[in-house]
Amino acid sequence: MRTTKRKPQSVGEILRIEFLEPMGIKNGELADRLGVHRNTISNLLNNKTALTPELAAKLSAAFNNTAEFWLNIQNANDIWQTKHNYEALTKEIVPFSKPQN
């Protein structure tokens, strides 16, 4: 796995920078189009919540891309966060070895 110190861009950042701002879409308009509460979009844009598969599917339909596109962004952030938050906790764990045949 590639190690990087720089946190990847979040779903909210990508959504805002690459889609909403260039297309002139307001948060409320996106929420209405997706059939979700405005707070859902606000929380996603402000990195207060993680992307769900359901919301990824809705975003993919709205922006003519794939749910995997959105989920891969979320996954990259989750992996980075896990690696950086739990690295100290896992250093002392001794891994199991494969049995000798």
Which domains occur in the chain, in start order?
11-89 (1.10.260.40)
pLDDT value, residue 83: 86
Indicate the average pLDDT of the chain.
Answer: 92
pTM for the predicted model, two decimal places: 0.82
Query: Which 3-state string (H, E, C) describes the chain?
Result: CCCCCCCCCCHHHHHHHHHHHHHCCCHHHHHHHHCCCHHHHHHHHCCCCCCCHHHHHHHHHHHCCCHHHHHHHHHHHHHHHHHHHHHHHHCCCCCCCCCCC
pLDDT value, residue 84: 84
State the average pLDDT over residues 19-26: 98
pLDDT value, residue 3: 61
pLDDT in tens, 28-71: 999 999 999 999 999 999 999 999 999 999 999 999 999 999 99
